């Protein structure tokens, strides 16, 4: 049996808005715009999708029909119920202001948990979903830059008390590109499966459209998801988080905010690397970007 609102600290599942896709698709930007308008909060990468998705789809994928397996098919309803309560309890504990407020929304930025998107959307069918996609060649190019020596990812690891080991991005860039393209297929592929299966509020957003006309695309997101927003407030948030407002010293090569330029992969990847991505992620590329050119 699904828990009642009282049992979940009052967090309403229909007021959760998930942002799935994959890393380096502009999800921080999108969720920052949404999370700072009135009545909205942002949950930054809980990784709950990764927690469940990684075991279910990858490490124990061969055991999905085994009745002893904790996430086995025969007892699916039972563990999906636990997953549901797990998310709602955790959300309520962290964001009591959203749970308490009538009409409050929680934006859950979860690109790196997209592998588990089908499980999360099945457990929380009333919640809303944004599938945020970006050209896989730009995603891979962005990751290639991020994992080079001395970049923001090394700073992030240092903050966590670890030194970043030398990455394949430096020693074997083509192998790195192939690995990242596979990761794109895994994350975006699973997020797309969740999107197709989800019967509730959902919207597909291309990063390129968000860059081309941010306010228009944001309005489309809110109207498609049928969630209220004050237009003036949204416009202010869009303006506040625009590329132009980021100080020059905080953007560029090796920075978290790199170039935000759709099609920038042409400058960043070798023709061979672009071809690797097109081969590995070809099916999703054709489906999500049917009119784009290839290497």
Binding site for other proteins (CB under 8 A): 1, 3, 7, 43-48, 50-52, 54-55, 59-63, 67-71, 75, 78-79, 82-83, 85-86, 89-90, 93-94, 157, 159-162
Nearest residue (CB) to other proteins, 26 versus 116: 116
Min dist CB 262 to other proteins, Å, is: 28
CB 112 within 8 Å of CB 31: no
Which residues, listed in sequence order, are joined to residue 17 by a DSSP beta bridge?
A: 107, 128
Nearest residue (CB) to other proteins, 61 versus 263: 61
Rounded Cα gap, residues 13 and 33, in angstroms: 21
Q: What are 7's two structure tokens? A: 């049992």
CB 206 within 8 Å of CB 139: no
DSSP single-letter state for residue 108: E
Min dist CB 2 to other proteins, Å, is: 10
Min dist CB 173 to other proteins, Å, is: 19
Min dist CB 265 to other proteins, Å, is: 28
DSSP single-letter state for residue 166: P
Min dist CB 238 to other proteins, Å, is: 24
Min dist CB 82 to other proteins, Å, is: 5
Report CA torsion sign: 40, 218, 259, 186. Answer: positive
CA 166 to chain CA mean position, Å: 26
Nearest residue (CB) to other proteins, 48 versus 188: 48
Nearest residue (CB) to other proteins, 85 versus 236: 85
DSSP string, 174-229: HHHHHHHHHHHHHHHHHHHHHHHH--SSEEEEEHHHHHH-HHHHHHHHHHHHT---
Nearest residue (CB) to other proteins, 60 versus 235: 60
Nearest residue (CB) to other proteins, 62 versus 166: 62
């Amino acid at each position: 049996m699904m828990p009642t609102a009282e049992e979940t600290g009052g967090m309403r599942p229909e007021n959760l808005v998930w942002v799935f896709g994959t890393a380096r698709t502009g999800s921080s930007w999108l969720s920052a715009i949404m999370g700072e308008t009135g009545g909205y909060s942002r949950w930054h990468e809980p990784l709950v999708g990764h927690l469940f998705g990684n075991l279910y789809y990858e490490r124990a994928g061969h055991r999905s029909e085994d009745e002893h397996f904790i996430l086995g098919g025969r007892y699916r309803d039972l563990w999906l119920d636990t997953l549901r309560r797990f998310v709602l309890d955790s959300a309520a504990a962290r964001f009591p202001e959203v749970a308490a407020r009538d009409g409050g929304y929680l934006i859950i930025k979860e690109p790196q948990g997209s592998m588990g998107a089908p499980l999360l959307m099945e457990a929380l069918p009333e919640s809303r979903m944004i599938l945020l996609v970006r050209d896989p060649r730009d995603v891979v190019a962005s990751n290639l830059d991020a994992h080079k020596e001395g970049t923001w990812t090394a700073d992030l690891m240092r903050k966590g008390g670890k030194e970043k080991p030398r990455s394949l991005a430096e020693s074997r860039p083509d192998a790195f590109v192939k690995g990242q393209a596979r990761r794109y297929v895994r994350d975006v592929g699973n997020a797309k499966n969740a999107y197709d299966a989800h019967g509730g509020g959902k919207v597909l957003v291309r990063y390129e459209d968000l860059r081309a006309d941010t306010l228009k695309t944001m309005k489309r997101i809110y109207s498609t998801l049928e969630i209220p927003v004050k237009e003036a407030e949204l416009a202010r948030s869009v303006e506040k988080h625009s590329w132009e407002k980021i100080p020059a010293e905080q953007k560029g090569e090796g920075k978290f905010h790199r170039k935000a330029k759709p099609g920038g992969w042409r400058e960043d990847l070798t023709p061979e690397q672009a071809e690797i991505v097109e081969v590995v992620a070809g099916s999703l590329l054709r489906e999500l970007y049917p009119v784009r050119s290839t290497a």
